[in-house]
């Protein structure tokens, strides 16, 4: 069945079939103004050809009658000829892609963004060189070369919270007077090597008052010839043994502290 629909924008009328409406959910595009609308909501009944109603009288009227054509309805032949051009269903609209001019590449913005990215990367390598060198040993040679340009060094991490004093003992040497021996066991809980810590030993009297204090650097408690640079390996113990001359102090207690000099 053929029906007439009317464009709600420009008022152009054209014919559509029920099969066409069912196939596209009633959506069509006007061939004149290109507006897409629901043809079902703007259907009009086929208007029968208007009959000229003349009064029946004894005399035959010879006057000409002015017939005004119905506006906005194209002629039948033109309508048949251009129906496919006037009606375009939504299914066909997806194939049409509007032409857009090609965008110009903003090389200035790209170069600025690249420069900022490189600057941020260089800054991050500088501030996190110690952490990167410990967690990613393969990067350490590269970080060392990088620091040669900036006059910096890639040292071992110094996280004292991960360096734990497991046990310690201070005892007198039975073979020598005024000589005490300090035994200490230090454990590196980190998953990476750390620098050797410094030790601060405080000798106390019976009232737990400090009577002497001494700081030991790694070179003081490491064995002769042992290299300081590798540090304490990850998850390893450090066994420390020190001999000291207390002269005539006669300490009754002690305190031992691990720390990293600032």
Q: What is the pLDDT along the chain (262 residues), one digit of tens a residue?
A: 678 888 888 888 878 787 777 777 778 888 888 888 888 888 876 555 454 444 545 554 544 444 344 445 444 444 444 545 555 555 554 445 556 677 778 888 888 888 888 888 777 777 677 777 777 777 777 777 777 777 787 788 999 999 999 999 999 888 888 889 999 999 999 999 999 999 999 999 999 999 999 999 999 999 888 999 889 999 999 999 999 998 888 888 999 999 999 8
Q: Is residue 102 part of a domain?
A: no
Is the distance from CB of 190 to CB of 207 less than 8 angstroms?
no
Q: How many domains does the chain have?
A: 3
Q: Is residue 116 part of a domain?
A: yes
**Rounded alpha-carbon distances, angstroms, from residue 210 to 126, 198, 238, 255, 257:** 42, 19, 26, 9, 14
- Do residue 237 and residue 170 come from a single domain? yes
Q: Which residues pair with residue 186 across a beta bridge?
A: 165, 238
- Do residue 118 and residue 195 come from a single domain? no
Is the distance from CB of 72 to CB of 1 less than 8 angstroms?
no
Q: Is residue 132 part of a domain?
A: yes
Question: Kindly report the CA angle at 14 between 12 and 19, in degrees rounded to 5?
Answer: 140
Q: Which domain holds residue 242?
A: 160-259
Q: Is residue 100 part of a domain?
A: no
Domain end residue (candidates: 93, 115, 131) = 93
- If residue 133 lies in a helix (H) or strand (E), which one and from where to where? helix 129-135
- Do residue 133 and residue 173 come from a single domain? no
Q: Is residue 155 part of a domain?
A: no
- Do residue 115 and residue 172 come from a single domain? no
- Do residue 223 and residue 250 come from a single domain? yes
Q: Is residue 99 part of a domain?
A: no
- Do residue 143 and residue 174 come from a single domain? no
Cα separation of 13 and 5, whole Å? 6
Q: Is residue 178 part of a domain?
A: yes
Phi and psi (nearest 5°) for 113?
A: -65, -40
- Do residue 164 and residue 223 come from a single domain? yes
Estimate the share of the chain in helix, then strand, then coil, as percent rounded to the nearest 5: 30, 25, 45
pTM, 2 dp: 0.50
CB atoms under 10 Å from CB of 15, counted, come to: 16
Domain end residue (candidates: 85, 115, 150) = 150
Q: Could you tell me which of 128, 104, 108 has the C-alpha nearest to residue 116?
A: 108
- Do residue 14 and residue 50 come from a single domain? yes
- Do residue 134 and residue 76 come from a single domain? no
């Amino acid at each position: 069945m053929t029906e007439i629909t009317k464009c709600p924008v420009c008022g152009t009328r054209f014919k559509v079939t029920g099969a066409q409406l069912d196939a596209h959910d009633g959506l069509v595009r006007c061939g004149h103004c290109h507006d897409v609308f629901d043809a079902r909501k703007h259907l009009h009944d086929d208007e029968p050809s208007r009959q000229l109603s003349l009064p029946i009288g004894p005399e035959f009227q010879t006057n000409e009658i002015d017939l005004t054509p119905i506006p906005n309805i194209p002629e039948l032949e033109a309508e048949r000829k251009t129906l496919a051009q006037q009606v375009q269903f939504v299914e066909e609209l997806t194939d049409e892609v509007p032409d857009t001019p090609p965008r110009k590449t903003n090389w200035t913005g790209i170069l600025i963004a690249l420069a900022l990215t490189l600057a941020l990367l260089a800054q991050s390598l500088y501030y996190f060189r110690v952490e990167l060198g410990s967690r990613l040993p393969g990067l350490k040679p590269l970080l060392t070369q990088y620091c040669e340009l900036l006059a910096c060094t890639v040292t071992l991490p110094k996280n004292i919270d991960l360096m734990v004093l497991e046990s310690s003992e201070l005892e007198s040497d039975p073979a020598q007077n005024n000589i005490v021996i300090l035994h200490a066991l230090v454990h590196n809980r980190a998953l990476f090597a750390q620098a050797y810590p410094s030790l601060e030993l405080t000798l106390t009297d019976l009232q737990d008052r400090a009577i002497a204090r001494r700081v030991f650097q790694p070179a003081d408690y490491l064995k002769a010839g042992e290299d300081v640079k590798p540090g304490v390996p990850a998850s390893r113990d450090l066994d420390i043994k020190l001999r000291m001359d207390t002269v005539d102090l006669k300490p009754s207690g002690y305190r031992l502290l691990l720390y990293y000099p600032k």
